[in-house]
Amino acid sequence: MRQEFTIWLTGLPSSGKSTLARLVEAKIRDRGFPVMVLDGDEVRTWLTLGLGFSRADREENIRRIAHLAMFQNRSGVATITAAISPYQRARDEARRAIGRFVEVHVSCPIEVCEQRDVKGLYKKARRGEIQGFTGVSDPYEAPLAPEVVVRTDRESKEECVARIMERVEELGYLPRGQVRCEVIVPADLVDELGTNGSSLLAVLASREARLGRAGGPVTAEEWEKIEQRLRALGYLR
């Protein structure tokens, strides 16, 4: 029997997290299951507006992503997160919150990550133009006991994806073979979905955004930007 779960991809910038997340997403969707990717860079533009790159803000960013993943799982949607999430403590908290949690360390030497960095962020960080950049001026704490370690400098994308999928199946979160399924929406979301015609993601994002950061609620300006982003994506009318 399928169980909703979250695959949490963590690793240095430009290690290959987003690429693998999209490939794993396609594999799960091809198997007939609802699945969604929460990409760290994209999430920062609408769910975690106003957060910087201090340790506290980074931990809060991870907390919000974890809560949204948890809500999606409860709604019958498998979730894949692709976020640097550099701190062990924050990842452990995400694991406790989510429950069915598959931590994937996307391992890659920093030298290779720098070569892949088309945005030139590593170079800017080494010149001091970017402060608190993971791997340069801020630490990356590698997972202590991840469910999967993929080495993107040695393994092909296909090999990495195959090993992730194999582990998910071993854990019993996905059956082998092609299976079609439906999303079961919790009763407390039905009225909200029916009232405003929003997608499930929009409702979940709305709820999480209103929870606010640890130190206080999301500001009206931040919430307005979140709504604008969701409308642009077609999630709000």
Closest CA to 157 of 32, 8, 15: 15
Assigned token pair, 144: 């202590």
- The rounded distance, in Å, linking the Cα atoms of 159 and 154 is 10
Edge to edge, the sheet with strand 148-151 lists 35-39, 78-82, 6-10, 101-107, 148-151
In this structure, are residues 80 and 25 in contact, taking their beta carbons and an 8 Å threshold? yes
CA angle at residue 61 from 60 to 63, to 5 degrees? 60
- The rounded distance, in Å, linking the Cα atoms of 162 and 171 is 14
**Active-site residue, selected from the candidate residues 85, 107, 198, 206:** 85
- Other C-beta atoms within 10 Å of 199: how many? 15
Closest CA to 163 of 146, 179, 145, 140: 146
- The rounded distance, in Å, linking the Cα atoms of 153 and 138 is 22
Is 85 an annotated catalytic residue? yes
For the chain, the residue count is: 237
Assigned token pair, 31: 């198997």
In this structure, are residues 8 and 101 in contact, taking their beta carbons and an 8 Å threshold? yes
Supply the residues annotated as catalytic.
85
